[in-house]
Structure 1
Amino acid sequence: MDLFRILLGRLHEMAAGLVRMLPQMAIAAVVLLVTWAVAKFARRIAERLFKRSHVRNTLVDLAETLVGVVIWVGGLMIASSIVLPGVTPANLLAVLGLGSVAVGFAFKDIFENFLAGVLIMLRRKMRIGDMIECESVEGKVEHITLRDTYLRHLSNELVLVPNAYLFKNPVKILTDGATRRHQVDVGVAYDVDLEAARSVIEQAVRDADGVDTSQRIDVFAKEFGDSSINFLVRWWAGSKPIDMHRSRDAVVRGIKRALDDAGMEIPFPYRTLTFKEALPLKRGAEKERMPPPAPSDGETRASDDSDGF
């Protein structure tokens, strides 16, 4: 019976405490309702402000989420302080600080890629659709998330690259401009007039399809090769990979045709064989020493018949 009375007393005290806390809980509910309204309004304001700055949609969503989280954290701290007066915002911040350190160590790579994704999204460069190269990775940028960047290879494979990898390493954006410079090596024979060859090659490049003739075309004598004088030929064309292949195809075919028409040789490697001792030429001597061929049966009969007349 004593135990039953003790339990009833405890339940009575708890009920009385709950009744005493009802006003505080009501105030906390009002605070949460106000927090919800403020967070919704702030998200709309953030959306309008960020869309005016022409940033990526993913970054706009991130900004809205962060604004909402900050407001909700503040509202929950105020509500908890009202319901539980012994819990102060300073205590909550201390607990959150210790917890954030532990979570940070546990999810280091995830947070690193997250922050790198945010910084990549803040960049003006590397837009959706750009062709990029980063170390051993290359492809077309299809999508940028807060953790990964989706790259599509030219052979159609999709590669998910962690944002930290793209942020820490140099990234070459091939399609940043409408055009970029391409080059190829061309060799001519040693007995060819180099000035004439330069003029023929330059004109052939200028006449090739896809070459931007408003940009400079360079033809430089580069080196003494094994069998040729090599020229470095540089021109400007489209920055996309398909533009590079098309312009290079047109340039190479045009240079070959122009040099052939001018009678200028594009040599291939020659090989000279040297022997330690002179090789005897036996074929001619053997022919002289060989007896004449024996007559056939028909020829023998014909000679016999002639002798009979």
Structure 2
Amino acid sequence: MYLLQASVTNHALQTVQKMVKSLYDHLPYLVAGLIVFLCFLIGANIAKRILVKIGERTRLDVTLACLLGRLASAGIVILGILVAAVIIFPTFKPVDLMAGLGLTSVAIGFAFKDILQNFFAGIFILWRKPFRIGDQINANGFEGTVEDLNIRSTHIRTYDGTVVVIPNGALYSRPVQVKTAYEHRRVMVSVGIGYLHSIEEARSRIQKILTENEGVENDPGPWIYVAELAPSSVNFNIYFWTGSDQATVLKVTDQVMTAIKRTLDEGGIDIPYPHQVVLFHDATGTRQDDIQRSAYLASLTGGNGGDGSG
């Protein structure tokens, strides 16, 4: 029993001695690897700061500049880890590691497809800047003001006070209407007048209203076109330019339409509503109203309108 314990102890001591000797032999490689990794770590921090500074000078989006800085820093750190691993463990081959990660990366790509799609779409949106925070847009059936734009999603505050979070993948792959892309926006409204009234007088009165309104732009000026000879009215399409934000559009449109109604009333110009005549008749033609109607039609055509066949 004593000899067995001594043998086990001796074997343990030999194992520890071999480990200490191996560590001592590899100590220079370990120190060199740590120094190299530290250099890469410092380089990654410097590269991140440089990219952020370049983004600020080139007016690149702050979020995108910080993201690019972090990605570059992470890439340099990973490269430093691989280089340090090769120095510390000479038998280590990064190629074998990459081959092992190949199938894993494919599985991860399928599992996180939507997340990666939103991520890359967010990068392209921040880079190309089709719209910015504060713009009013219409996207995916939602209209409002962009409140936040990050790598994963875009937050839109609608005009009724709710927040809609749209994934960047859906936003980048579908049409987006940017209402405030330019300083001014064109507005179209329709007004109808009766057939008995003068088109030129109505046009002149509407033109005066548009010219006197401070919210309506003079360049380009407003246009007033006869758009349709409708069954009950002569319809005008009125185009004018005003500020592009929704509040200005609603305010100026209200002012213009109110003033048009007032000036047409003052000029005695009627804004008619559709008229529809509905006639009821008995198929037998025996009711007094049907008999009178048949006689009236006959007098117009000069024939027999009793049954509509003559």
TM class, shorter-length:
0.7 to 0.9
> 2 CA distance for matches of 1:275 and 1:72?
87
Structure 2 residue 145 is matched with structure 1 residue 140: yes
Q: Any residues of structure 2 matched to 1:185-200 within 5 Å, and which?
A: 185-200=190-205
Q: Any residues of structure 2 matched to 1:178-217 within 5 Å, and which?
A: 178-217=183-222
Aligned residues of 1:131 and 1:175 also touching (Cα < 8 A): yes
Deviates more, 1:234-243 or 1:96-105: 96-105
Q: Any residues of structure 2 matched to 1:77-226 within 5 Å, and which?
A: 77-226=82-231
Note closer, same or farther for the CA distance 1:168–1:162 as it changes in structure 2 (3 Å cut).
same
The code of the aligned residue for 2:208 comes to Q
Quote the offset at 1:110 in angstroms. 0.8
Aligned residues of 1:209 and 1:250 also touching (Cα < 8 A): no
> 1 CA distance for matches of 2:170 and 2:183?
26
Secondary structure class of the residue paired with 2:131? coil
Deviates more, 1:127-136 or 1:219-228: 219-228
> 2 CA distance for matches of 1:107 and 1:8?
50
Aligned residues of 2:217 and 2:242 also touching (Cα < 8 A): yes
Secondary structure class of the residue paired with 1:140? strand
Deviates more, 1:113-122 or 1:64-73: 64-73
Answer with 1 or 2: which has the greater Rg: 1
The code of the aligned residue for 2:237 comes to L
Quote the offset at 1:191 in angstroms. 1.5
Note closer, same or farther for the CA distance 1:160–1:273 as it changes in structure 2 (3 Å cut).
closer
The code of the aligned residue for 2:243 comes to G
> 1 CA distance for matches of 2:80 and 2:104?
19
Note closer, same or farther for the CA distance 1:188–1:105 as it changes in structure 2 (3 Å cut).
same
Number of positions where the alignment pairs a residue of Structure 1 with one of Structure 2: 280
Structure 2 residue 250 is matched with structure 1 residue 250: no
Structure 1 alignment gaps of length 5 or more: 280-309
> 2 CA distance for matches of 1:207 and 1:255?
12
Secondary structure class of the residue paired with 1:182? strand
The one of 42, 52, 60 equivalent to 1:55 is: 60
Secondary structure class of the residue paired with 1:268? coil
Deviates more, 1:268-277 or 1:48-57: 268-277
Cα shift readout 1:166-189 (whole Å, capped 9, x = no counterpart): 100011100011110001110111
The one of 21, 26, 32 equivalent to 2:26 is: 21
Deviates more, 1:126-135 or 1:224-233: 224-233
Structure 2 residue 76 is matched with structure 1 residue 68: no
> 2 CA distance for matches of 1:58 and 1:78?
30
The one of 217, 240, 243 equivalent to 1:238 is: 243
Quote the offset at 1:139 in angstroms. 1.4
The code of the aligned residue for 2:272 comes to P
* Aligned match of 1:259: 264
Q: In angstroms, what is the RMSD of aligned CA positions? A: 1.9
Secondary structure class of the residue paired with 1:155? coil
Aligned residues of 1:77 and 1:92 also touching (Cα < 8 A): no
Aligned residues of 1:208 and 1:254 also touching (Cα < 8 A): no
The code of the aligned residue for 1:266 comes to I
Secondary structure class of the residue paired with 1:212? coil
The code of the aligned residue for 2:135 comes to D
Aligned residues of 1:223 and 1:230 also touching (Cα < 8 A): yes
Structure 2 residue 49 is matched with structure 1 residue 38: no
* Aligned match of 1:288: none
